[in-house]
Amino acid sequence: MAGEKMWITLFHSLCAISFVAAYNSSPQIQPIVFPDEVLEGERLKIGCILTKGGPPLTFSWTKEGKELRNSSLITIGSELEYSFLIMAKVSREHAGNYTCSVRNDHGVDRYTAELIVKAPPEWKIRPQDTTVSIGQTISISCDVEGYPQPRILWKKESQEIDKKYLQQNRLFISKTTLDDDGFYVCSAENGVGYGISEKIKVTVLVPARFEEKFSVETVRRGETASLKCEAIGDLPLEVTWAKDKRNLEIKELDRYERFETTVEKGLTSELMIRSTDRNDGALYTCFAKNDYGLDEKNIKLVIVEVPARPLDVRVQEVWSRSATISWSVPYSGNSPITKFIVQYWQEKENGQRLLEQTIPSSQTSVLLKSLHPGSPYAVTVVAENEVGQGMPSQTIQFVTGEEAPVSPPTDVQVKPKGSSSLLVTWKPPPKELWNGELRGYYIDYKVNSSPTSYLFKTVESSSNDSYEYILSPLMKATRYSVVVKAYNGAGTGPPSEEITVKTLEGDLPLPPPVELVSNSDSAISLKWGKSPSHNIPVTGYTLHYKKKNSGEWNYVHVVASDNNMYTIKDLESGATYQLYLTAVNQFGRGNPSDYLSITTNPKGIGIGLPFYLNLAIVVPVTASVVAFVVVLVVIVIFVKKTKARKALERDLTSLQSGKVVTYAPGSQRYIDMEKARRVSNPEPGTPAAASIASYASIPSRDLELRVDDPRQELKSFLPPQMRDRPLPHPKPSSLKKRGDSHLYDRAD
């Protein structure tokens, strides 16, 4: 114990010696750390704290070697062992190196730290709107300050300006053009605060001028001439007109009118001359003038006429592939007709292709060749002189003679549809190969390899894109050869390629009835009944489906079974699908069922249901479970009642033999039921707790169970939905009832 006190005394002595040594040593300053990010306008307080040394202490602060003193911007204070520097509102001028110095009788210490002040961009020289004449130099300053150094960006109408037009932060264009006119934006940012930008307008002054110096205008006699001068230059612009170098005076109610319109680049002046005649043909000059220059434009007005419409255009002769057209020479328009242009085209529903044939002016008829048989044509004739083409003549129509079709029907298919019929389908030949209007089709058929000639069926033509016909009655399991030919008023076309098909040995299945079971956001469940198949078993089904307005059909093969159901999975949510079903037997595939159009649920509705919640599974499983429970309840009730009757018979036998059966005073007998059972249909408004009847606490004398009919008593233990079902009549009991007495089960 004495040794422990000695060690404690020694430890305190050493601590005191260490404290005195540190207190009486040279001062040492703890490192000064400025915040990493000091923003302009913030308040800043920095401390200079000693880690060693004692009083008397003298603190001082310097910035960049210059002593700091209290001012409106800086406050300096000192305490016993530390000093502090407060800046009420930091500005970018406060940035620099700060040094804290401390001195005592034993020495001096200093510590220097750099203060970095971040400041958002500010304008030193704000860019200004500038106006220059075209061809002069533009020099616009955009000078900003901030820390870090702001980045300067020049744009014109949202497009960044090429660096070749920039000198440091200055926009410099040595020779301006009209394209340099517009709005410019100088923006600056350095990542501190919000950037700044300034939008300015550069105006380029443009002297009056014309881009087009000379033009020729040709006007038909009697029509209105429109002479336009589009002057480019800054407003105000003044435009005057001259005719053959003489000032043109425009008077009211004169045939000459002048209209002027201000446009983006200058002024448009239009000289209108109504009801022109030959005297109006001259050289017109328009002069444009503004404060920066003068220019002129010459317009040559020529009054001419084009040829009139060719007259008496007629069709002389028409064949199946050619026709002769003639006409009369029209008025030339005071200029010799150089040629005639015969324009003709085949009139089609899907567009027309204009054909032209040039005829020398000395000829007034033409033979049109390479026409299409049995086709309607239209033709017109145009005369042309040095001025141009005249108006076309009146259009005349004609129809070339027909020829027999040169192409067979296309996409011919023959399929067996049973033991006595074949389905023939085809499409018309290409319309350009009809050589007239189709009147119908011949379906030729005969037993394959038979020396007899073809039998044929006739199908009238219609506007359908495809045709089908069922050949019947035919012989069972017999091969037939079938061809299809098209015909028109000129004859019959070539036959299609002969197709050999054998009738079936039995009939195909009829379409099965299909119905929807359920659908979710990604699946559709279907079921269908058995397909009537003429006593020929169905071997399977094919389910066809596709998204509405989509491409090809998808299909799934389903093996025939007693439970004809299938679920299509991985479908798109909220989409409409089209479905149909076909049945297959040993002879082939039958006709399709009615189409179903089913829309899947929106995303999230009906998803994630486990298989045991599927109605197709839940319904039969639930029904089986309910039936099993009912049978079990009936068996339990029957066993208990049998035991009760046997016990009662034993009691009666004892009474008859003189034995006394003793019951405890006040004892009651209860029916052995479930402790609590929920009422099937509680009255509306009844609380859930009130719907539980605790049968274990109901005395048997209070139950109004009559045994007039044992089956009725048995029904009281059944679920409500089964109480109306008839129960088997019980076997007669060996006990006899006495009066209106009730028989109850004994609680064992």
Mean pLDDT by 10 residues, the chain (748 residues): 54 46 76 83 87 84 87 84 85 86 88 86 89 87 87 86 83 86 90 87 88 90 92 90 90 85 91 89 93 91 89 93 94 87 88 89 94 93 91 94 93 90 93 90 91 90 89 90 93 93 84 86 86 73 87 84 84 89 82 86 63 58 86 88 79 57 37 34 35 33 39 44 45 39 34
pLDDT tens digit sequence for 587-627 = 778 878 888 889 998 886 554 454 455 555 667 778 888 88
d(CA 177, CA 55): 77
Cβ partners under 8 Å of residue 310, min gap 6: 327, 328, 329, 330, 340, 381, 382, 383, 393
d(CA 452, CA 302): 82
* 311-399 CATH fold: Immunoglobulin-like (2.60.40)
Domain boundaries 209-304, CATH class? mainly beta
Range(s) within the chain of domains with CATH label 2.60.40.10: 23-115, 121-205, 209-304, 311-399, 410-485+494-502, 514-609
Cβ partners under 8 Å of residue 706, min gap 6: 712, 713, 742
| CATH number assigned to the domain covering 410-485+494-502 | 2.60.40.10
CATH architecture of 514-609: Sandwich (2.60)
* 121-205 CATH fold: Immunoglobulin-like (2.60.40)
The whole-number pLDDT of residue 532 equals 64
Amino acid, res. 574: G
User: Parallel, antiparallel, or unpaired for β 196-205 and 130-133?
Assistant: parallel
d(CA 218, CA 300): 8
d(CA 52, CA 11): 21
The whole-number pLDDT of residue 447 equals 92
- CB neighbour class for 34 (10 Å; exposed up to 12, middle 13-18, buried from 19): middle
Residue 298 DSSP one-character state: E
DSSP secondary structure string for all residues of 734-748: SS---TT--------
Tokens of 678: 């929920």
CA-closest candidate to residue 420, choices 483, 482, 484, 471: 471
Tokens of 345: 């085209």
Domain boundaries 23-115, CATH class? mainly beta
pTM of this prediction exceeds 0.75: no
Q: What's the longest Cα–Cα distance across the chain?
A: 161
- The sign of the CA dihedral 435, 439, 441, 442 is negative
- CB neighbour class for 611 (10 Å; exposed up to 12, middle 13-18, buried from 19): exposed
The whole-number pLDDT of residue 706 equals 39
CA-closest candidate to residue 77, choices 111, 47, 101: 47
For residue 589, the cross-strand partners are: 584
Long-range contacts of 598-601 (CB under 8 A, 24+ apart): 598/516, 598/519, 598/524, 599/519, 599/574, 599/575, 600/519, 600/520, 600/521, 600/522, 600/523, 600/524, 600/571, 600/572, 600/573, 600/574, 600/575, 601/519, 601/520, 601/521, 601/573, 601/574
The whole-number pLDDT of residue 732 equals 41
The whole-number pLDDT of residue 57 equals 85
- CB neighbour class for 82 (10 Å; exposed up to 12, middle 13-18, buried from 19): middle
CA-closest candidate to residue 32, choices 71, 94, 84: 84
